[in-house]
Structure 1
């Protein structure tokens, strides 16, 4: 079987997300399955070029996986004609410069979010990419989670009737770093380094709401910093200046109201780290990362409020599990495959830099809503 190689410069691969999800569980997994099958019968073979600032870390990753191509010189990597795609999973503050360099070099762009630190920059980069005639995409991994794919299937099938509301809970306790090491990098909690849960998570919530339920028309948010002192990877204390919790109300076309709490200062009492409850006139659903449960109108019980008696109903048992009905692959890998087909076959692809810019817009307006204490309408870009 014929094989076509495509060079991909992976910048930020020494970070947790870049290494685990994008290199190991996506591109190397595609290679392990023999490449990505294309319509003409050939197999597309990703050839990673590891890019980063630390020679030692890059060499160690390359040796671990039998790779030979790595560099600390991004300019040199972008100058290579065999490199067709540039991928970025650096810290947000470093992303704009690298993406602009890749666009100038004529490379197709695939990037983590947020794509920029502010809306004006995000829009400018989307325009530059369009003008350059390159393909561009933004990671929107949560759309490919089994739980949310089942939820989208319910929406598309009309299960809910008229959708009334969406309630989302996301987060977990991130240790401060003094007596137990933090499970997130310290830059996440420094505003000067582009940290903050609003700029991190609101772009996620934007594409989840937009793609599954409809256009987000307005946002009202309260943003706060619950824990203002943390300890970094070296055990050195620092002032945590970025927000670690954001509580948002999102108004969606058709009258749907979404409420989503995001926090790195919450202890988990739910089945999964993120859960969405959707209520409609004909039924309701609760979806997490992998699972989804439903309760139809015809099987909805009639609870009665009586605080003087103990509850006797097992409410969770009154919901039905939604079956998989298909085999779900890793969400990051699934989107990588769609983007690579978009590049080489011109297959349809909607999650571009403009989608990324709309996510930045929601985060920016959410922060402004919190500062000014008011509802913010979201204009079309």
Structure 2
């Protein structure tokens, strides 16, 4: 039994997601639990170096969490052979350039999504990583949410019979920033900075739908910028150039129809910030971030439309909770542990840069559908060429 120290260059960890989910709740938590134990008893211990542009933020973050390495010089970090993983949670417009540099330096790649600002650039990153022979992965955290894992268990068990449709509602009210600070950074609402809810959320919807129900085959999307003016972190007004809501329909293989509403301009009147309702011939389910409830065909009520009487049904009371049979950890941390095992022990990790490119592709085609006001089919992606539909097969490691 031995300890295996794994150096990780963590770029962009001073941002909200980088600090909370990837540093504190993942890498710091893994270090506090004593590392990741392999089947033979060896222990992987992550050894991060925090990288960013703000020296004061980096120093403060490192001191607060017992990390003794930080730097504002990415090139110097990439030259250190003991740091074998490069992680990127910067803003989208900065990500691809630094991932290219890390691949050239021979680092294994793990990054947030979207992996780039266009599908062509995302495919290029996947191709470069493949040609360089470096392992790579993309954060697909929602697959590890307790509610989604319960939903996946239902799908795998055949609970639904034939799945007919899926309805997804996501979002909440993000304050404009004038009389209350906004909960999201201002760049989210500027297209030129990589903002927009289609770019942000369709990358998530792609891997959720592909992994749970079947590959997405076509999209129809209508975006909107409902709030044209917001106030930034300094209290200065700015014009919103990116979409803050998207109303989409996806068609999946097997004929499953998905309706997905995504909005930062909606007030929540549902069980959770994200709810996914699945309807099938044998039963239905509604999953949130942590919980999932079901209604089998034998327990389905038989309502009749009659607006002249009080509703005789308590519809919300006619669902059963799916039990939490497993102890489920933070989804970001779980995926970090899987990636570390993939790097050290060559365990399976299917969520690579090509999978990440599929998310960018859906965002791109969603925006195109909105612009052209039409349905768009989604071609197969490969890393044999730079275009959407080039059919050059590559065996992925």
Give TM class, smaller chain. over 0.9
Runs of 4+ in 1 over 2 A off after TM superposition: none
Alpha-carbon distance in 1 for matches of 2:148, 2:350: 18
Equivalent position SS for 2:254? coil
Q: Is structure 2 residue 180 aligned with structure 1 residue 180?
A: yes
- Cα distance in 1 for residues equivalent to 2:19 and 2:254: 40
> Could you report, residue by residue, the CA deviation over 1:164-202 in whole angstroms, capped at 9, with x for unpaired residues?
000000000000000000000000001110000000000
Mapped pair 1:147 → 2:159? no
Compute the displacement of 1:38 (Å).
1.0
Cross-structure match for 2:315: 315
**Equivalent pairs, count:** 381
TM-fit CA distance, 1:309: 1.0
For 1:176 and 1:254, how far apart are their aligned partners in 2? 41
The residue aligned with 2:255 is 255
For residues 34 and 201 of structure 2, what CA distance do their matches in structure 1 show?
34
Residue aligning to 2:8: 8
Task: Please give the alpha-carbon distance, in whole angstroms, between the structure 1 residues aligned to 2:227 and 2:339.
Answer: 38
Does the residue aligned with 2:115 lie in a helix, a strand or coil? coil
Counterpart-to-counterpart distance in 1, 2:47 and 2:264: 36
Cα deviation digits, residues 8-41 of structure 1 (max 9, x gap): 0110100010000000000111111111001221
Once the two structures are TM-superposed, the CA of residue 149 in structure 1 deviates from its matched residue by 0.1
Question: Residue in 2 aligned with 1:217?
Answer: 217
1:366 is matched with 366
Distance of 1:137 and 1:277 partners within structure 2? 29
- Please name the residue that 2:118 is paired with: 118
What's the counterpart of residue 274 of structure 2? 274
User: Are residue 61 (structure 1) and residue 68 (structure 2) matched?
Assistant: no
Which residue of the partner structure matches residue 329 of structure 1?
329
For residue 364 of structure 1, give the secondary structure of its aligned residue in structure 2: helix
Unaligned runs of 5+ in 1: none
**Secondary structure at the residue paired with 1:254?**
helix
SS in 1 for 2:260: strand
Give the whole-Å Cα distance in 1 for the aligned partners of 2:264 and 2:300.
34
The whole-number CA distance in structure 2 between the counterparts of 1:121 and 1:103 is 14
Compute the displacement of 1:275 (Å). 0.2
The structural deviation recorded for 1:310 is 1.5
Distance 1:39 1:107 in 2: 25
Give the alignment's TM-score, normalised by structure 1. Answer: 0.99
Superposition deviation, residue 2 in structure 1 = 2.1
TM-score, normalised via structure 2 length = 0.95
Q: Secondary structure at the match of 1:234?
A: coil
Q: Distance in 2 between the 1:8 and 1:247 partners? A: 38
Once the two structures are superposed, residues 129-164 of structure 1 have per-residue CA deviations (whole angstroms, 9 ceiling, x without a partner) of: 000001100000000000000000000000000000
The one-character-per-residue Cα deviations of 1:241-279 (angstroms, maximum 9, x if unpaired) are: 110001110000001000000000000001100000000
Q: Output one character per residue of 1:51-70: Cα deviation in whole Å (capped at 9) or x when no partner.
A: 00000000000111121100
